[in-house]
């Protein structure tokens, strides 16, 4: 399959695996790249030393193009991004922050930069900064999707941008790939679908919960990790997303997170007044991390919270990344042939 995205990234199929914390490991990223797509390693939970080791591990497992993901708003993101630049990772995907400096550094060694956005405003800004492609995250997506659905967001961005658009949110099979291409996208990214592959480290209990759930079994709320996000619907998720975190609890979690991340207390105290939004996000991040890890690594859905998209209703098995890639491409080609018959 040849699209602007496959030509840009040097990949066989226009299918990406986005960087999912604790899931997009070197093993899964390499498996997706070896299957002909682009695996993106998640750097969010990693230290700079772990980032370096993980990138080197991906290179041991594949000689195909791969990427890394940096959520720039998170503590330590710039340091991890610098490691990726130093190691000349082929593709750097960034989100939640201004990435002009990162784009420039990536282009300096011939790499490609992909900006993940949820709005047209942010897409235009990223393109102006020099991003090579835009990943458009729709409302259906796991974690931090936007207010607009993929069905509307993708063509809106395609109409306004000159760089390739990657659809993300609601895609799990070949019908979705064909639909995204029909909307003008140059490819798709699938998180929930790759999270349930055999190579994924997502706990088997959580995989089974996802496979056994419908598209309706998610909850979307800004009240857990500080940003609007979509989670697997459980009694715990309903309780923790019902209302914003109280200030005393936020202060406690911000302090704990600062200690764990090595942030001086005076910066936290000053930030309460100068940058209250960032401090709130730090607090929510500190509170969210153990619950997200519990669901992902331990399969504990009583205490834990699991990012998942509405596409879980389309997920019914646990193939390998290679099997899934071949299936999706074949389904997309079959769908195109069917449409040709329908349209004459």
113-132 confidence digits (pLDDT tens):
999 999 999 999 999 999 99
Mean of pLDDT values over 300-307: 96
- Provide the whole-model pTM: 0.90
Residue 92 in contact with residue 72, Cβ under 8 Å?
A: no
Asked if residue 248 has pLDDT above 70, the reply is no
Res 271 pLDDT > 50: no
Whether residue 249 is predicted with pLDDT greater than 90 in this model: the reply is: no
Confidence class of residue 274 from pLDDT cuts 50, 70 and 90?
very low
pLDDT tops 90 at residue 320:
yes
Domains of the chain, first to last: 4-204+314-343 (3.20.20.70), 214-298 (no CATH)
State residue 245's pLDDT score.
64
Report pLDDT digits (tens) over 12-55. 999 999 999 999 999 999 999 999 999 999 998 899 999 999 99
Residue 105 burial (CB count, 10 A): 18
Question: In the prediction, which pLDDT does 74 show?
Answer: 80
Percentage of residues in the chain having pLDDT higher than 70: 88
In angstroms, rounded to a whole number, what is the distance separating the alpha carbons of residues 343 and 322?
A: 32
74: buried, middle or exposed (CB in 10 Å: 19+, 13-18, 0-12)?
Answer: buried
> What's the mean pLDDT in 317-332?
98
Of 77 and 53, the structure prediction assigns the larger pLDDT to: 53
Joined together, the tokens standing for residue 108 give 């300096």
Q: Is the pLDDT of residue 90 over 60?
A: yes
The pLDDT of residue 190 is above 60: yes
How does DSSP classify residue 183? T
Q: What is the pLDDT of residue 251?
A: 60
Residue pointed to by tokens 């993940």: 116
Taking a C-beta distance cutoff of 8 angstroms, is the pair 89, 68 a contact?
Answer: yes
Is residue 185's pLDDT more than 80? yes
Return the percentage of the chain with pLDDT > 90, whole number.
78
Report the 3 state secondary structure along 103-141. HHHHHHCCCEEEEEECCHHHHHHHHHHCCCEEEEECCCC
Residue 330: pLDDT over 60:
yes
Which region among 161-165, 170-174, 222-226, 332-336 has the lowest average model confidence (pLDDT)? 222-226
List all residues 6 or more positions away from 230 whose beta carbon is below 8 Å from its beta carbon: 140, 141, 142, 143, 145, 218, 219, 220, 307, 308, 309, 310
Continuous segment of H or E residues that includes residue 232: strand 229-232
d(CA 278, CA 287): 14
Which residues have C-beta within 8 Å of that of residue 17, sequence separation ≥ 6?
24, 28, 29, 32, 37, 38, 39, 40, 189, 190, 191, 194, 321
């Amino acid at each position: 399959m040849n699209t602007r995205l496959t030509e840009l990234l040097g990949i066989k199929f226009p299918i990406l695996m986005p960087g999912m914390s604790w899931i997009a490991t070197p093993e899964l990223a390499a498996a997706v790249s070896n299957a002909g797509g682009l695996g993106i390693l998640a750097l969010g939970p990693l230290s700079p030393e772990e980032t370096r080791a993980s990138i080197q591990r991906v290179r041991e497992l594949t000689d195909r193009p791969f990427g890394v993901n940096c959520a720039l708003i998170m503590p330590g993101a710039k340091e991890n991004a610098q490691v990726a630049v130093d190691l000349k990772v082929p593709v750097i995907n960034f989100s939640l922050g201004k990435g002009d400096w990162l784009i420039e550094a990536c282009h300096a060694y011939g790499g490609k930069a992909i900006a993940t956005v949820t709005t047209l405003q942010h897409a235009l800004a990223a393109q102006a900064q020099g991003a090579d492609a835009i990943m458009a995250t729709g409302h259906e997506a796991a974690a931090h999707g936007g207010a607009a659905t993929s069905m509307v967001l993708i063509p809106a961005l395609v109409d306004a941008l000159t760089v390739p658009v990657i659809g993300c949110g609601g895609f799990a099979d070949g019908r979705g790939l064909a639909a995204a291409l029909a909307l003008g996208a140059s490819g798709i990214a699938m998180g929930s679908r790759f999270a349930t592959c055999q190579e994924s480290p997502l706990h088997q209990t959580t995989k089974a919960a996802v496979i056994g759930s419908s598209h309706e079994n998610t909850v979307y709320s800004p009240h857990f990790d500080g940003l609007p996000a979509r989670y697997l619907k459980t009694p715990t998720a309903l309780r923790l997303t019902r209302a914003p975190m109280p200030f005393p609890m936020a202060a406690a979690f911000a302090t704990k997170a600062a200690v764990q991340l090595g942030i001086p207390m005076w910066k936290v105290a000053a930030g309460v007044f100068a940058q209250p939004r960032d401090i709130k996000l730090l607090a929510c991040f500190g509170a969210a991390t153990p619950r997200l890890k519990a669901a992902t690594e331990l399969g504990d859905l009583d205490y834990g919270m699991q990012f998942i998209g509405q596409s879980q209703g389309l997920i019914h098995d646990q193939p390998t990344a290679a099997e899934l890639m071949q299936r999706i491409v074949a389904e997309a080609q079959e769908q195109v042939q069917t449409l040709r018959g329908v349209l004459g």
